Chain A
Amino acid sequence: MTITIEGLSHTFTTPTGRVPALRDVSLQIRQAEFVAILGPSGCGKSTLLRLLANLLRPMAGHIALDGLTPAQAAATKRIGWMAQHPALLPWYTVRDNIALAQRINPQPQRAVPAVDDLLALVGLSDFASAYPFTLSGGMQQRAGLARTLALGADVWLMDEPFAALDELTRESLTLELLRLWQTFRPTVLWVTHHIQETVRLADRVVVMSRRPGHVHTEKAIGLPRPRDDTAPDFQPLVRELRVALAAQS
């Protein structure tokens, strides 16, 4: 899915006044591109994803997802949105949680992966009949990941999906995600404040400024995959992004 964002602005109205979250954001994202969005907390990264996922209506500007508005794209389930909290339903088993993503607002004309294949892909085949609260945080997030994949969506909007996990789990899941992206080839927007992670994962890093957020720098990461933290070209990129980010926080 190609994504065009033009002049996007959004302001929240709170009891204490109006808080501008995004100001004049413009981005072009190619089909199957992996874009990391890096920024200080409160820079509107999550707001940007919510606008794309049709969870918020933009106040100004224009979004096109393969030429569709976010509402049209959501109505035909082309969007897979995932947040830090897996938000699984505790009253359904892991399998039912994943299957529900396909049963709700079903789109018979779209091909979706089989639930059992997804369970195998995220390593939860033995836990298909388990209830979410019996699983560890990492396993719950795997189930959440499988549920997002179950949509067969053209774009994955991932809002710091592994931020609440411990470092080891986070690293292994990040590698798995990369593998899944290479299997399914969706367009990915990956929101994070973890600099190393962006260099490890993305084709391009978009650094956002402080509130109200707008695009500060875009940096293409040309390193070949699989990427190695100890490669000579790796750390200079991390340093460069750190400098760009530090100027914003």
Chain B
Amino acid sequence: MSRLDSTGCALALLIVGATFLGWELGVQFFQAPVYILPAPSRILATLSANASVYALATLITLGEAVVGLLLGILGGVILVSLISLWPGLEQGVMIVAILVKSTPLVAIAPLLTIWLGFGVLPKVVLVAVLTFFPVLVNMLSGIQATEPALLEVFRSWHASQRELFRHVRVPYALPYVFAALKVSGPLALVGAVVAEWTGASGGLGRLMWLAYTNLNLPQLFAAVFILALAGISLYALMVYTERRIVFWQHR
């Protein structure tokens, strides 16, 4: 799914709209208690009444997600560059990367909070740990999948490894990197929120944790709505950036 066309958007809006309508009517009809399932109208009212609180929390969480994601991308790119320069490193790096990646994030998050405190730093670190892996794996596949016909032309010119990397291998791997970013973008939000749950001074995860301990479901849902919206916005941003940068893929 590399493009969001208008019929697709219309269909998605229709499904979301119908769900919300059914939800609102269902809550009214069954008189569901607000501590079990609040109506969408109630959630939106909570949101608008506390707009500034949510805006600040969103800013904090998004900031953690984006900075962490950028660090994760940087880490992935550096590892791929090292492996390309010294192919002997591949096995070792991949084993450690898989080890780090397969350790459950809920196990790492409390540790990071204990070591790095309640500020944004442990969140950024967790997001980076979570997001570097798809970038590493996909970019490496792209680099290694580079069309032999392109490489042969450059080899017949006696091109250096550096010239090959810059003009052929990296551009060839870019579509693979963006495929990874479409996974890593929304994943960055998950990482930031989970990290905030284990202890934070601000952010949507912090708000959710407070709402959860008070059984304040409208507040909990309000945070969920914002996160869903932020997730799809990050994804759309990736798709847009991809179309601008990897233009030759969308002919």
A contact set with B: CB distance below 8 Å: 53-55, 74-75, 77, 79, 81, 83, 85, 87, 89-92, 100-101, 104-105, 131, 133-134, 151
Contacts and interface: CB of A to CB of B under 8 A. Distances in A.
Nearest to B159: A104
Contacts of B168: 89
A83 B152 CA distance: 10
Contacts of B157: 74, 77, 101, 104-105, 151
A53 B154 CA distance: 11
Contacts of B147: 87
Interface in B166-182: 167-168, 171
A104 B167 contact: yes
Contacts of A81: 152-153, 156
A79 B156 contact: yes
Nearest to B251: A133
B155 interface: yes
Interface of B: 147, 149-150, 152-160, 163, 167-168, 171, 247-248, 251
A131 B156 contact: no
B156 A55 contact: yes
A105 B167 CA distance: 13
Given A74-B158, A104-B154, A104-B159, A90 B248 contact: yes
14 contacts: A54-B155, A54-B156, A74-B157, A77-B157, A81-B152, A83-B152, A89-B167, A91-B171, A92-B167, A100-B167, A104-B157, A105-B157, A105-B163, A131-B247
B155 A55 contact: yes
A74 B157 CA distance: 6
Nearest to B154: A104
A73 to B, nearest CB: 9
B158 A83 contact: no
B150 A74 contact: no
A100 B163 CA distance: 10
B48 to A, nearest CB: 46
Given A89-B150, A91-B171, A105 B159 contact: yes
A85 B149 contact: yes
Nearest to A53: B156
A83 to B, nearest CB: 7
A229 B47 CA distance: 83
Nearest to B171: A91
A131 B248 CA distance: 8
Q: Which 8 A-B pairs have the closest CB atoms?
A: A90-B248, A81-B156, A87-B149, A91-B171, A104-B159, A74-B158, A75-B158, A53-B156
